[in-house]
Amino acid sequence: MKFDSIVIGGGVAGLSCAIRCAEAGLKTAVVAAGQSALHFSSGSVDVLSRLPNGEAVAAPFDAFTTLAEQSPHHPYSKLGVAASRDAIAWYQNMMEKCGVYLSEQADEKNHYRVTPMGTFRSTWLSQQTVHQFPLHDLSQGLTNVALVTVDGFRDFQPQLAADNLAKLPQFANVSIKTAAVELPDFEKMQRNPCEFRSIDISRVLRDETKLHAFAKSMIQQVGKADLVILPAIFGNGDGAATIKLLEGLTGFSICEIPTMPPSLLGIRLEEAMKSHFKKLGGLILAGDEVISGQFDGDKLTHIFTRNHEDIPLSADHFLMANGSFFSKGLAAHRESIEEPVFGLDMAENSHRDHWYQSQFFAKQSHPFMKMGVSCNEHFQPSIKGQTISNLYCAGAILAHYDPVQEGSGSGVAISTGHYVAEQMIARSQAVQISDSQQKQERTTA
């Protein structure tokens, strides 16, 4: 099978690249082995919340210059502010076409989102059903907040969240209450506790009669509130629409917070991207895994997958977006770290004593979090010093940044995926122009 571009990995980096390529008319395939980090994520897009030295960042794009001084090899330092901004704006527009509205604060600053623990994490873009707490005034406009769960649901504990919120001085004058709402069919679901996850609840609430019963119980349990915070228990495709319906039925202003995995807010982003990519004509080889590749000089010519071992896939360009240790894009051995598919050169391979900080909750990030594949300024990797000219890397497989400590995970994944796609598109167009010029010259001759 021959493609213009093949993307290895179906997370936010791989899908961003694949969608951009498909938009530009490139015949594109994605090989996705398993679940991406989005299944564990809040579904908000972090761009930059903290500098490598631990300093908090309010305006992420304004901080790129300081970031480049502290971390010259950081993916954002290679991209620059304009390319990163363009990529994030493209992502917002593209997701809007899929019905997922991601927005930022008008003052170009990060906002806080509340976590299931009742603590706050700063981020750049949040979905329309997530309440944005401004950095400068956390409890702006709030006097009565209700943290509501579904009776018997184990993946969100509202009392724990309420206790943590109540400790904050900004919430001193806000009344915080908790409630548990009964779910129709709860008795049946309780027979098997493994079936009482967010995704199972979302199936029940898709039924409008049950949603009405849920709304009625919610009005009784909550009473008065100017913001009702619910765990994300509404479906992937129609979650936002169901919340609108529930707001109409109850009269409450409702927002969602992510739960323990599976996180419907993150899955919503992945499902939207996958279906958009397929609509654009893209192919997803789901549940398949790239196991090796064939090289000719400085070019990757074919890849081999577990399910199509004897049918190689070939393409003009390839992207490695198969994540970090979490997604098996990187593997740790006793004394070394490696990229297991092609054996790409790693940025650093120090002794294991230098992989972590002595304090687990250290202010500085653990060095292993910044380990990854070494790439040039075009995000092309190398093997034993030889740059592979038609292979690129994007997202969590890249070295020199810590998505968790910096709060930059999806931002780096989207920007590097988009940037790589633009290079693939430009190279394909250059080949097309040169082919048609040669054809014209032959006709003229």
Ligand X SMILES: Cc1cc2nc3c(=O)[nH]c(=O)nc-3n(C[C@H](O)[C@H](O)[C@H](O)COP(=O)(O)OP(=O)(O)OC[C@H]3O[C@@H](n4cnc5c(N)ncnc54)[C@H](O)[C@@H]3O)c2cc1C
Number of helical (H) and strand (E) elements in the chain, helices listed first: 11, 20
Q: What distance lies between CA 12 and its chain's CA centroid?
A: 5
When binding is defined by CB under 6 A, the residue of 3, 9, 28, 277 that contacts ligand X is 9
For the beta carbon of residue 354, count every other beta carbon within 10 angstroms. 10
Could you say whether residue 409 binds ligand X (CB under 6 A)?
A: yes
Under rule CB under 6 A, how many of the chain's residues touch ligand X? 36
Structure tokens at 177: 């209450």
- The region of 32-40, 48-56, 154-162, 356-364 touching ligand X under the rule CB under 6 A is 32-40
Structure tokens at 424: 């693939």
When binding is defined by CB under 6 A, the residue of 1, 23, 40, 103 that contacts ligand X is 40
Could you say whether residue 88 binds ligand X (CB under 6 A)?
A: no
When binding is defined by CB under 6 A, the residue of 7, 8, 201, 204 that contacts ligand X is 8
Footprint of ligand X on 327-356 (CB under 6 A): 327-329, 341
Could you say whether residue 255 binds ligand X (CB under 6 A)?
A: no
When binding is defined by CB under 6 A, the residue of 37, 189, 233, 330 that contacts ligand X is 37
- The region of 28-36, 195-203, 220-228, 276-284 touching ligand X under the rule CB under 6 A is 28-36
DSSP letter (8 states) at residue 352: G
Instruction: Single out the residue of 258, 282, 292 nearest to residue 113, CA to CA.
Output: 258
CB of 414 to ligand X, least distance (A): 9
**Contact between 318 and 2 (Cβ < 8 Å):** no
Residue nearest to ligand X (CB): 395
At 132 the three-state DSSP class reads coil
Could you say whether residue 60 binds ligand X (CB under 6 A)?
A: no
Reported as type and span, the H/E element at residue 120 is strand 120-123
- What's the N-to-C CA distance of the chain in angstroms? 35
The four Cα atoms 391, 392, 397, 400 give a dihedral, to 10 degrees, of 130
At 116 the three-state DSSP class reads coil
When binding is defined by CB under 6 A, the residue of 6, 13, 19, 179 that contacts ligand X is 13
Could you say whether residue 304 binds ligand X (CB under 6 A)?
A: no
Instruction: Single out the residue of 299, 222, 296 nearest to residue 254, CA to CA.
Output: 222
Question: 218 vs 412, which CB is nearer to ligand X?
Answer: 412
When binding is defined by CB under 6 A, the residue of 6, 20, 28, 46 that contacts ligand X is 46
Footprint of ligand X on 108-137 (CB under 6 A): none
Amino acid at 164: N
Could you say whether residue 391 binds ligand X (CB under 6 A)?
A: no
CB of 63 to ligand X, least distance (A): 16
Task: Please state whether beta strands 111-114 and 102-103 pair in parallel, antiparallel, or not at all (unpaired).
Answer: unpaired
DSSP per-residue string spanning 82-146: HHHHHHHHHHHHHHHHTT--EE--TTS--EEEE-TTS-EEEESBEETTS--EESS-TTTT-SEEE
When binding is defined by CB under 6 A, the residue of 5, 28, 36, 49 that contacts ligand X is 36
Question: 236 vs 327, which CB is nearer to ligand X?
Answer: 327
The four Cα atoms 78, 58, 17, 420 give a dihedral, to 10 degrees, of -10
Question: What is d(CA 131, CA 252) in angstroms, rounded to the nearest whole number?
Answer: 13
When binding is defined by CB under 6 A, the residue of 20, 21, 29, 44 that contacts ligand X is 44
Question: 14 vs 52, which CB is nearer to ligand X?
Answer: 14
Question: 162 vs 265, which CB is nearer to ligand X?
Answer: 265
What residue ranges bind ligand X (CB under 6 A)? 8-14, 31-34, 36-38, 40-42, 44-46, 289-290, 321-323, 326-329, 341, 395-396, 403, 409-410, 413
